[in-house]
Amino acid sequence: MDNLRQMLATMSPEEFSAAARERELEEWRSINRFCGKCGSSMQPHANAAERALVCPKCGYAAYPKLSPAVIVLVTKGNKILLQRNTHYKFRNWTLVAGFVDAGENFEDAVRREVMEEASIEVRDLRYFGSQTWPFPSNIMIGFRAEYASGELTADGEEVVESGWFDKANLPEIPLKGSIARAMIDAWLEEQDAAQRDA
Ligand SMILES: [Zn+2]
């Protein structure tokens, strides 16, 4: 398993953020050794405070880039949607997630990913929070959404199995420290509070 990923559960948010920044900058330098426009060797920006690599020949400047990915906790009554993905190294269950495509906003990406992976429509999207995810240069944007319509069906390609789970029947869930786990934990607290109030 990736070392930083493994350490995520035990690091403070500040430690993780610093390690993530190092990791992302290292990746950025390694993929920008040559100018993407003319192929010349890139150099650090003359102003050291400017975080950019610059092409001395054509002037193209490369700044660190992140790939945004949405992740969504879909609820249906007192249950949540969890699924197992084929391409994950980790076999536990997790939330629907995927990269934002060109021309999409985050909400479009949430609706598309849920439709593609689970064949359902969702409504009432609400922002949850975000997390840097340096594997290698991503940022996860978390949403909550309510089930609207359709029959839950795993796509069979990316997702091998999916289901609705209430808090008494949760399968193995993502590691502490991940935004997926934070979203599930927040939902669990709501469930406990609802039970206390009932
Ligand atoms: Zn160039």
3-state secondary structure the chain: CCHHHHHCCCCCHHHHHHHHHHHHHHHHHHHCCECCCCCCECEECCCCCCCCEECCCCCCEECCCCEEEEEEEEEECCEEEEEEECCCCCCCCECEEEECCCCCCHHHHHHHHHHHHHCCEEEEEEEEEEEEECCCCEEEEEEEEEEEECCCCCCCCCEEEEEEECHHHCCCCCCCCCHHHHHHHHHHHHHHHHHHHC
How many Å lie between the centroid of ligand 1 and the Cα of residue 31?
14
pLDDT in tens, 50-63: 999 999 999 999 99
If you measure from the C-alpha of residue 30 to the centroid of ligand 1, how many angstroms do you get, rounded to a whole number? 16
Which of 82, 108, 36 has its CA nearest to residue 183?
82
- Determine contact, residues 161/152, Cβ cutoff 8 Å: no
Per-residue pLDDT tens for 16-42?
Answer: 999 999 999 999 999 999 999 999 999
Q: pLDDT tens across 109-158, in order?
A: 999 999 999 999 999 999 999 999 988 899 999 999 999 999 999 888 88
In the reported structure, the alpha carbon of residue 33 is separated from the centroid of ligand 1 by a whole-number distance in angstroms of 11
Q: What is the pLDDT of residues 63-116, one digit of tens each?
A: 999 999 999 999 999 999 999 987 666 567 999 999 999 999 999 999 999 999
Distance between Cα 168 and ligand 1 center (Å)? 58
Domains and CATH numbers, the chain: 11-62 (no CATH), 67-197 (3.90.79.10)
Cα 35 to ligand 1 centre (Å) = 5
**pTM higher than 0.75:** yes
